[in-house]
């Protein structure tokens, strides 16, 4: 039961990232900038 949970969790996280990118593009640019540097 523990393994299948990881798949929807990663899917939900990916969808959440897309929603954040669409609603808060300035926030994403700051976040990605910190990760790259």
Taking the C-alpha atoms of residue 1 and residue 9, their distance in angstroms, rounded to an integer, is: 13
pLDDT, residue 12, reads: 87
Range of the domain at 18: 2-28
Name the pTM for this structure: 0.44
Inter-axis angle of helices 2-23 and 25-36, nearest 10: 120
The predicted-structure confidence for 11-37, as pLDDT tens digits, reads as follows: 888 998 889 889 887 876 676 666 654
Tokens 């593009």 correspond to: 25
- As for how many domains the chain has, the answer is 1
pLDDT, residue 37, reads: 45
Q: Enumerate residues 6+ apart whose C-beta is below 8 A from 27.
A: 20
* 20, part of any domain: yes
Q: Enumerate residues 6+ apart whose C-beta is below 8 A from 20.
A: 27, 28
* 36, part of any domain: no
């Amino acid at each position: 039961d523990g393994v299948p949970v990881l798949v929807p969790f990663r899917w939900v996280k990916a969808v959440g990232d897309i929603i954040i990118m669409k609603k808060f593009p300035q926030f994403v640019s700051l976040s990605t900038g910190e990760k790259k540097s």
